[in-house]
Amino acid sequence: MSIAIIGPAEIEAMIDREVADYPTDTRAGAQTLEAFQNARRKPRLVSVNFSGGITQKCYSVTRPNGDYRVIYLPLAGYFSLCVESDFGPLDIGVHGPAIACFGSV
C-alpha cells in the first residue's frame, strides 16, 4: 500500500475548504474562525516529536501561541494539536480537522 504525501499547496487548499465550510452562525464559531485565521501561516516544515522518541517532518500551519500550534501530519493525512516543548512541537494526540484541533484549547 502506498501513502500519498501532499505538499503545501494541497494543505492550504484543505484548510481553505475548512474555512469556507466552518459554521460562523454562533458567536463562538465566529470567534474561533477569526482566531484561527489570525494564527494561520503558510505551511512550514518542522520536526515533530511523538511518543517513543519518534520524530517526523510535518507542516506547521499555525504560529505557536506560546503553548500550542497546529501541525499537518503528512504520513497520517490529518492535523494535530502539538504542545511546544524545549525540543520542538510534541504531538499530544488531538487529531482531526485543523480548525477543530485549534479550537480544542
- CB-hemisphere CA count at 13 Å for 46? 25
Q: Which of 43, 28, 42, 36 is nearest to 74 (CA)?
A: 43
Give pLDDT tens digits for 69-99. 999 999 999 999 999 998 899 999 999 999 9
Give pLDDT tens digits for 5-18. 789 999 999 999 99
Where do the domains of the chain lie? 8-19+27-103
The model's pTM is 0.91
Q: Where are the beta strands (DSSP E) in 18-104?
A: 40-50, 54-62, 68-73, 78-83, 90-96
